[in-house]
């Protein structure tokens, strides 16, 4: 028996350009596990020193995790070890504080989605 028969047919590797719908990558929030492509998710990337930073370009190299556009998720990500687990590292309190302040900035500069839930002070 010839052992050189490794010519397995591969499908989907052809570079054909068909009228396929545009591929929308789905991301999962590491906190609420909500898989979405509608809501914006922020990419957190692990840095070379084992910490993390927000990757606004989405193109930084390194292990990434996504947190959705929800203040509650950022709250949990920075107060629990969920993000640590997702990035397989141990984030310092300093890093989490930095992420918190980033979240505070993005949500502060944003008009409230629903005005009715206003008046809730942290
Ligand atoms: Zn979430």
Please indicate, yes or no, if residue 76 is contained in any of the structural domains: yes
Mean pLDDT within 79-92: 97
CB atoms closer than 10 angstroms to residue 20: 7
CA of 119 to the centre of ligand 1 (A): 22
Residue carrying structure tokens 């909500």: 34
State the pTM of this model: 0.70
Classify strands 35-36 and 52-55 as parallel, antiparallel or unpaired.
Answer: unpaired
Tokens of 71: 């203040």
Question: What are the distances in angstroms from CA 62 to CA 24, 58, 59, 81, 117?
Answer: 21, 11, 9, 19, 37
Question: What are the distances in angstroms from CA 104 to CA 69, 101, 110?
Answer: 12, 5, 10
Count of domains observed in the chain: 1
Neighbours of ion ligand 1 (CB under 5 A): 29, 31-32, 68, 70, 73
For 105, the domain range is 27-110
Please indicate, yes or no, if residue 104 is contained in any of the structural domains: yes
Please indicate, yes or no, if residue 17 is contained in any of the structural domains: no
CA of 36 to the centre of ligand 1 (A): 10
- CATH number of the domain bearing residue 60: 3.30.1230.10
Mean pLDDT within 79-95: 97
């Amino acid at each position: 028996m010839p052992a050189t028969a490794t010519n397995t047919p591969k499908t989907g590797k052809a570079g054909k350009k068909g009228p396929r719908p545009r591929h929308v990558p789905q991301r999962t929030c590491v906190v609420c596990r909500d898989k979405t492509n509608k809501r914006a998710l922020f990419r957190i990337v692990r840095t070379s020193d084992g910490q993390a930073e927000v990757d606004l370009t989405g193109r930084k190299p390194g292990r990434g995790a996504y947190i959705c556009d929800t203040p509650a998720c950022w709250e949990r990500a920075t107060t629990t070890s969920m993000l640590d687990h997702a990035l397989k590292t141990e984030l310092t309190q300093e890093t989490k504080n930095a992420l918190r302040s980033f979240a505070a900035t993005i949500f502060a500069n944003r008009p409230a989605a629903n005005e009715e839930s206003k008046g809730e002070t942290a």
